[in-house]
Structure 1
Amino acid sequence: MAYLSQVKSNGKQYIYLCMYVGTQQYSTRKERRVYSFGESRKALIRMKRWKRRFSEFPQELLDLGCGMKELEEWIQTLETGITKTGRKFPKIRATS
């Protein structure tokens, strides 16, 4: 199961797609970042473009089993600030 994660660095918020992997050797993290969407505002704009032109959706995400349904959920999460499971996620505002 893949989910969105955010990391703040140098005053900017970056969005990643993570997957739960349990314990990892040499690490206490229980997730692995599998895709970087980049800076949050640009990530939302890029996702909206992919929704309009799904042919531009990255093959890497398709290989992970992600599709239009997941893309719509990610956009909704970024715009509303609430994930599909109800946890809070920092809201992003972008024009597109």
Structure 2
Amino acid sequence: MAYLSQVKSNGKQYIYLCMYVGTQQYSTRKERRVYSFGESKKALIRMKRWKRKFSEFPRELLDLGCGMKELEEWIQTIETGVTKTGRKFMTSVKRATF
């Protein structure tokens, strides 16, 4: 199962797609970042473009089993600040018109 994660660095917020992998050798992390969407504002713009032109959706994400349904969930999560499970996902990007 893949889910969005965020990291704040140098005053900017970056969005990643992560997968739960359990224990990893030489690490205490239980997740693995599998795709970087980049800075949150640009990530939202990119995701909306993919929604309009799904043919531009990255092959890497398709190979991970992600599709239009997941893309729509990611966009909603970033815009509303709430995940599909109801968990808070604080981003600096709120609903904008692109």
Same fold (TM over 0.5): yes
TM-score (norm 2): 0.93
Which residue of 2 is the match for residue 75 of structure 1?
75
DSSP-derived class of the 1:84 partner: coil
Residue 93 of structure 1, CA deviation: 4.8
Residue 36 of structure 1, CA deviation: 0.1
Which digits, 9 at most, give the CA deviation of each residue in 1:18-62, with x for residues without a partner?
000000001000000000000000000000000000000000000
Runs ≥4 in structure 1, deviation > 6 angstroms? none
Contact 1:44 1:94 in 2 (8 A): no
Contact 1:18 1:35 in 2 (8 A): yes
DSSP-derived class of the 1:95 partner: coil
Instruction: Count matched residues.
Output: 94
Contact 2:7 2:15 in 1 (8 A): yes
Q: Which runs of 5+ in 2 are unaligned?
A: none
Residue identity (%): 93
CA RMSD of aligned residues (A): 0.9
Residue 95 of structure 1, CA deviation: 3.9
Contact 2:80 2:95 in 1 (8 A): no
Q: Which runs of 5+ in 1 are unaligned?
A: none
* CA pair 85-25 structure 1, distance change in 2 beyond 3 A: same
Residue 11 of structure 1, CA deviation: 0.3
Contact 1:15 1:40 in 2 (8 A): yes
DSSP-derived class of the 1:72 partner: helix
Q: Does residue 46 of the first structure (1) align with residue 39 of the second (2)?
A: no
